[in-house]
Amino acid sequence: MNREFSLAHLTVLGCAPPEMTYIAARAGYEYVSMRLMRLGLPDEPDYGLVGNPALLKQTRRALASTGVKLHDVELVRIGDGSDLRRHEPTFEIAAELGARAVLTSIWTADRSLAVDAFSQLCDLARPYGLTADLEYVPIASVRNLADALDVIEAAQRDNVGVMIDTHHFHRAGDRPQQLDRVPRGWFHFAQICDAPAEIPADPQEMLHVIREARLDIGTGGIDVAAIVAHLPRVVLSIEQPNVERASEMGYAEHAARCLEAARRCLDARTAG
């Protein structure tokens, strides 16, 4: 099966959108997944294209010259008091660059607020041809597949999506067979990586792995191929931050090795 892969922002965290596009092209990715909205984390770079015409021009040139396509943009964090309308200019630029989806996660324990905010996000994204894809995170408020589907079903919008991250899927204790009961049209892309099989009891340790120490697919304890086998054919975004390896060999080589490992593991599963 010919799979299409996207290079996710966290894999090459220190690279601005133009640089990550060139890296993706050289490594053989078909798409890039860009973080154009800041999360307010310490020392977080600002790669926003709104109000930065020079960076936008460079990004547009990189996409056009390489043939790499922009698949999705991130990240809209829904929390108490979130102002979702402030992201609309980013949606407009993302759509102009060819994006298909906007990624979101929920960090409020108020279910009613979460449903209302997710519904609003869908409504804001729809005019730009974007789906709103909900990623559940085991240390967030919406932390497993059941939680995510509950919000999506309650929203009752036609541009909804659920985004499966193999790390979060494993840490949440979900099983591949559960994916068979999800409407196929709700899957637009997935994020893939590997990690140790043992689930950390300490949230800080889990956060460390999430942001800094994910593994090549096929070298950890997550059966990534089994999860992918229960999804329809979607773009697979490799989200594999590994600070140690990126520091040792540089982002370009790290991104290339991530893709090589993913193809090797998934192809072996198909051949078997």
pLDDT tens-digit profile of 101-137? 999 999 999 999 999 999 999 999 999 999 999 999 9
Residue 219's Cβ-side half-sphere holds a number of Cα atoms within 13 Å equal to 14
32 DSSP 8-state letter: E
The residue ranges of DSSP E strands in 140-195, in sequence order, are: 160-165, 189-192
List of domains in the chain? 5-271 (3.20.20.150)
| Contact present, 215 and 11 (Cβ < 8 Å) | no
Q: What angle do CA 58, 64, 65 make, to 5 degrees?
A: 85
Is 246's pLDDT higher than 80? yes
Percentage with pLDDT > 90 across the chain: 92
Q: What integer pLDDT is reported at residue 179 of this predicted model?
A: 98
- Angle (CA) 228 231 232, round 5°: 125
Structure tokens at 160: 């909804």
Euclidean distance between CA atoms 143 and 120, whole angstroms:
20
Mean pLDDT, residues 172-201 taken together: 97
39 cis-preceded (ω within 30 degrees of 0): no
Give the mean model confidence (pLDDT) for residues 67-84: 96
Residue-wise pLDDT for 143-155, tens only, equals 999 999 999 999 9
Terminal-to-terminal C-alpha distance of the chain: 13
Residue type, 7: L
Structure tokens at 265: 């593991």
Per-residue pLDDT, 45? 87
Q: E strands, 118-159, where?
A: 131-135
Query: Helix or strand or coil: residue 135?
Result: strand
Q: Do the Cβ atoms of 184 and 232 come closer than 8 Å?
A: yes
Does the pLDDT at position 271 exceed 60? no
Q: What is the pLDDT of residue 270?
A: 66
Is residue 210's pLDDT more than 60? yes
Residue 215 has pLDDT above 70, yes or no: yes
**Spatial contact of 17 and 69, defined as CB atoms under 8 Å apart:** no
- The residue with tokens 């449903």 is 115
pLDDT at 170: 97
The pTM of this model reads 0.96
- Tokens found for residue 240: 């594999």
DSSP 194: B
Mean model confidence pLDDT for the chain: 96
127 with 99: CB under 8 angstroms? Answer: no
Query: Angle at the Cα of 179 (from 163 to 9), degrees rounded to 5?
Result: 20
